[in-house]
Structure 1
Amino acid sequence: MSSTVFFILYRLLETCTSFFFYFSVFLHSFLASYLIYNLYTREVRELNPPEVSDSVLQFASWGVHGQQLIYIFENNIYYQTDVQSSSWRLTSSGQEGIIFNGIADWLYEEEVLHTQAAHWWSPDGSRLAYLTINDSLVPNMLLPCYTGSLYPRGKEYPYPKMGQNNPSVRLYVVTLDGSSLTTELKPPDSFEKSEYYMTMVKWVTQERLSVRWVNRAQNMSILSLCDVTTGDCTKKHVMTSEKWLDRQNEEPIFSKDCLTFFVTMPLKHGGRGMFNHITMISNQSDGQGQEVNLHHLTSGSWEVIQILAYDETTHLVYFLSTEEGSTQRQLYRLSTVDPFHKECLTCSLFRSECTYYDAVLGPDYQHVLLKCRGNTSWPTHDSAPGGQAVSDRFSLSWDSVLVSSDNIIVARLDGRGSGFQGQRILHEVHQRLGTVDVQDQITVIEHLIRLPYIDGNKVGVYGKGYGGFLSSLMLLSHSSLFECGIAVAPITNWRLYGSAVAEKYFGYPVKEDHKHQV
């Protein structure tokens, strides 16, 4: 079998369209032309739908087996068994700006899935799961473009705001044996007549999918296991919250028989509130029906960041975690037969300067690919509630220039509303963004300007997005503290923001209308 490789040739469209798709609206998506290049024969062929030549595609990638190819053109999915074969169309309902097959619309890409792709290969490549997102009832936003022509033009795209119609979404599985047999996976009964999001899809076996369904208020989620041949989904776990649920993109780790799985759940730790910890959930038959056993494997006033893998042979669970009061991220493991005794695998490595890791376990669980992403000198930031501004993750940015070249001190704070410090701190901003989080920032500034090496007459504030929202409020309420301020793309009215985020923190506007105003 000859080796092939993709070369991506970006085709710049006329100015307004190019700007819209690559920069302004869809964070991860772009349009491109694709060529398939044979490294041995030097043969080059364009990747195009059968009915179109010289096309611009929305997505293209290899499959998981051999030379399988998938690409998306005009919101429809196309499939090739290999690079020499002709492609066939798996969907036909796609409509520009209305029906999206296998790729995300604005809301799902930006706020729900956080990726352009809305499809998932089965482990053996014999099936493809994909979302169909219907924006036909979603109001459109107009993005004006003032370049490239004498008069301004505009590009419309579906953008649901608070209380407006959200896209409807369905999950399908199609077989890739030539029959294109398609099965729809049904939502839980409690969501059948209500609005919901699908925040996570993961293949567990060749015939089973794990799916997380979240209600529009985002205070209840259902994790289900679905049979792709019948379309029936079995409820495995339900989570509820008086405020909102976080971590709804988290992928559960299942055992091979699918009877046991691992997720993170909030666990109370004394008077310090709830912290996310590893929970093992088993479904076993007692002769009378299904009995659910739930075991918390970790505890404490620290957070499990991500569960990576479960080795059934050794009964070991691998995960990334912080320590109490730490900004580090290290790799740990623990035994399901001896829980609460965790072992740090990266804390004593020879690269002691690295304290922030990403990790990928090998298939045999004997090796791990580590990526050192930081040390204690460089903080990073996230301009949204639930993010982490202070960590050991490495970054180089405008802050670095200010610190190294201009004798400027840059300070960041993880106050109330930030993540990885427990549910109490995270939920402090529920229905009151711009209050306690601003107070925390001001308190720190008032402390810092009393330090002898800081000139209190030369303090500025900068923020972007949600950070711009906070910067604006700080400048308005405490202008005497600041010499200058910058608010980049600040949120000025939460009713104008996207539905998924705004409703998450403020509730549905019918009942909470007065709380959405800045």
Structure 2
Amino acid sequence: YRHSYVRKFPKKIYDLKLQISLLFCVNPQAYVWEYNIYLKKNATAEAVQVTHNGKVNEIHNGVPDWVYEEEVFASNEAIWWSPQGKYLAYLQINDTGVHNIEYSLYGNDQYPTTVFIPYPKVSKHPSDFTISFSLMVVPKSVGSGDHYLRTVTWVTDERLAVQWLPRRQDSVLLQIYDYDGTNWKETSQKSKTGWVGRYFPAAPYFAANNMSFYKVMSNDKGYKHLHYVDAVSIIVLLLFLYSLFKYLYYVSNEHMGRPGQRNLYKISISTSGHLAPECLTCSLYQDRCQYNSAYFSLNASFFRMDCYGPGLPLFTLMDNRGPAKGLSLHLSKAFHVVYVSPDLWYQMMFPPNFDSSKKYPLLIQVYGGPASQNIDYVFRLEWATYLCSTEKVIIASFDGRGSGYQGDEIMHAIYGRLGTYEVEDQISAVRKFIEMGFIDKNRIGMWGWSYGGYVTSMVLGSGSGLLKCGIAVAPVAKWEYYDAVYTERYMHRPEENMESYKNSTVTDRAKNFKSVQYMLVHGTADDNVHFQQAAQIAKALVENQVDFEAMWYTDKDHGLSGKARYHLYTHLNHFLQNCFAEKK
């Protein structure tokens, strides 16, 4: 961490307002155009402009800005209709005080254009964050400091529920508010070990009394379960909610305790309590289907069983009074999942005609970000499948500390120290793979995209000597360069955690790249992980006289879509062929 960067941080991060408009319409419609909201009484009526101050990169009405869309709502919508369409709540964001990220869009003209996006990065001064609300009072427990709006849920046409997060995101407050101001209720939840929720707190699902609600939260042991919250108590139930008549339906990985599985469960509810859960998919097509979901008819008489693997995906219509006849095919598994330790899992894909007496090159696919999961039973056809089947490369993935679906203790192990345990565990996994006897220890590579590119770079820069090569696509170089909402959720602000910020940088490990083959890839128009990140890695490598390969994709964003995607995998394949070439 270097103080010279602090002066570039924004003076203000957000200014938010939640507005509630009263409508007298039948089947009303709303849309956003040029950051203003328009209403129509019906599909053929003339539109009425509701807001007039919308302006790109300054005032957003009804749509989030970049960081709210990416890190808070996971949606590009910020308007919420009441159940009968009587009221419309919408978010107004004022970004006039937010520092812009700028990058060139080259296009085909004589001069490139410059793109400006308000993008709040981690900030040193807590007073830089401001928020204001109209018609609703922000709870004092969060309103006294910097905070975020997380969810807006209409309970009835006159009752609204809003979730608030403090800037640290280690607690959440759910506020139930009646439009006439006569009824208030606040329910808070605080994490004991890290941030709240998986990435962020789950939305509430309200019961028939319009005041109690269901919500997925961590229990006392740190595992995500469905809770029922009423006026006086919180009752633990189970994971994920389909609240239909007398039953609860949920999807869980609890069967046999395997985090990579998903099955559908049913609980019968009565006034005296609930019965033990019944698994509806655990015994169906077990060789083929171990990762399942469901899509229900309106009255839950039928559901579509969605099987995603490990065999070919299968969709079967099921009668809720008994299973419907479905297509049953037996396919051999494309991979197997076994223990690395009592808590951590890995996954391997073997080439055709695999012979354990031979030595194979190994490529490790990594993501490793907080709450992520690489190890599951989902069937996929991807670049790794080609490498395994055609290039005869063993493909492995590993979920270490920091990963999700194994409880908060494992997930929160990297809280406040990104770039530590999730990196160390990947290195430990490589050693375990070598011990299996069929891995060529001189031909081991790793690759990842985004956070996976960051972990790959940190592993290569660790100086472990285990890897011959690595590929980092759109990696983070320093967390000071990334957005405030994501980074501070896991790392707090730099002034609170300066040593961890310093230890989490790729650039400080540049000298250790001399003994590995490194491929750095980035899009020049990446609005998420900015090209600045790759530029700083490249600069550090050059300053340390490290030879490396690099590929940039002009005017491409974080996804490197279109023809760039085809070019990317062809280019990476050539890089790996060189890395895994046997010495003669």
Q: Which interval holds the TM-score relative to the shorter structure?
A: 0.7 to 0.9
Cα deviation digits, residues 41-88 of structure 1 (max 9, x gap): xxxxxxxxxxxxxxxxxxxxxxxx987543211111112233322111
1:277 to 215, 225, 247: 225
Cα deviation digits, residues 117-162 of structure 1 (max 9, x gap): 1122222233222211121221111122233333443111111111
Q: Report the Cα distance in structure 2 between the residues aligned to 1:126 and 1:115, rounded to whole angstroms.
A: 23
Q: Report the Cα distance in structure 2 between the residues aligned to 1:253 and 1:237, rounded to whole angstroms.
A: 16
Q: Report the Cα distance in structure 2 between the residues aligned to 1:330 and 1:89, rounded to whole angstroms.
A: 47
On the 8 A contact 2:366/2:448 being kept in 1, the answer is no
On the 8 A contact 1:135/1:167 being kept in 2, the answer is no
Other-structure match for 2:213? 261
Higher helix fraction (1 or 2) = 2
1:476–1:240: structure 2 CA closer, same or farther, 3 Å change rule?
closer
1:215 to 166, 179, 198: 166
Residue identity matched to 1:424: E
Offset at residue 465 of structure 1 (A): 1.4
1:198 to 149, 152, 163: 149
Q: Report the Cα distance in structure 2 between the residues aligned to 1:440 and 1:339, rounded to whole angstroms.
A: 41
Asked whether 1:367 is paired with 2:302, we answer yes
Compare relative contact order (CA 8 Å, sep 6+) and give the higher one, 1 or 2: 2
Residue identity matched to 1:295: I
Asked whether 1:238 is paired with 2:192, we answer no
Other-structure match for 1:504? 489
> What does 1:79-158 correspond to in 2, within 5 Å?
79-158=39-118
3-state secondary structure, aligned to 1:77: strand
3-state secondary structure, aligned to 1:455: strand
Residue identity matched to 2:165: V
Q: Report the Cα distance in structure 2 between the residues aligned to 1:483 and 1:139, rounded to whole angstroms.
A: 40
RMSD value, Cα: 2.6
Offset at residue 334 of structure 1 (A): 2.1
Other-structure match for 1:43? none
1:393–1:81: structure 2 CA closer, same or farther, 3 Å change rule?
farther
Cα deviation digits, residues 445-492 of structure 1 (max 9, x gap): 111123333222111110111111111111111452222111111111
Q: Report the Cα distance in structure 1 between the residues aligned to 2:178 and 2:78, rounded to whole angstroms.
A: 19
On the 8 A contact 1:188/1:233 being kept in 2, the answer is no
Offset at residue 404 of structure 1 (A): 2.3
Q: Report the Cα distance in structure 2 between the residues aligned to 1:105 and 1:374, rounded to whole angstroms.
A: 36
Other-structure match for 2:283? 348
On the 8 A contact 1:106/1:159 being kept in 2, the answer is yes
On the 8 A contact 1:267/1:276 being kept in 2, the answer is yes
1:350–1:440: structure 2 CA closer, same or farther, 3 Å change rule?
closer
Deviates more, 1:409-418 or 1:473-482: 473-482
On the 8 A contact 2:263/2:290 being kept in 1, the answer is yes
1:295 to 210, 222, 235: 235
When the two structures are superposed, what TM-score results if normalisation uses the length of structure 2?
Answer: 0.67
Other-structure match for 1:470? 455
Offset at residue 233 of structure 1 (A): 4.8
Residue identity matched to 1:486: I
Cα deviation digits, residues 383-439 of structure 1 (max 9, x gap): 631111111223332212212221111111110000010000001101211111111
Q: Structure 1 unaligned runs (5+)?
A: 1-64, 172-182, 284-291, 299-303
1:126–1:394: structure 2 CA closer, same or farther, 3 Å change rule?
farther
3-state secondary structure, aligned to 1:480: coil
1:232–1:135: structure 2 CA closer, same or farther, 3 Å change rule?
farther
3-state secondary structure, aligned to 2:423: helix
When the two structures are superposed, what TM-score results if normalisation uses the length of structure 1?
Answer: 0.75
2:387 to 388, 402, 405: 402
Cα deviation digits, residues 308-327 of structure 1 (max 9, x gap): 2224x52x322111121341
Q: Structure 2 unaligned runs (5+)?
A: 1-24, 312-333, 336-346, 348-364, 506-584
1:244–1:352: structure 2 CA closer, same or farther, 3 Å change rule?
same
Offset at residue 226 of structure 1 (A): 2.2
1:492–1:382: structure 2 CA closer, same or farther, 3 Å change rule?
closer
Asked whether 1:310 is paired with 2:243, we answer yes
Q: Report the Cα distance in structure 2 between the residues aligned to 1:102 and 1:308, rounded to whole angstroms.
A: 28
Percentage of pairs with the same residue? 33
Q: Report the Cα distance in structure 2 between the residues aligned to 1:450 and 1:192, rounded to whole angstroms.
A: 54
Residue identity matched to 1:256: A
On the 8 A contact 2:63/2:79 being kept in 1, the answer is yes
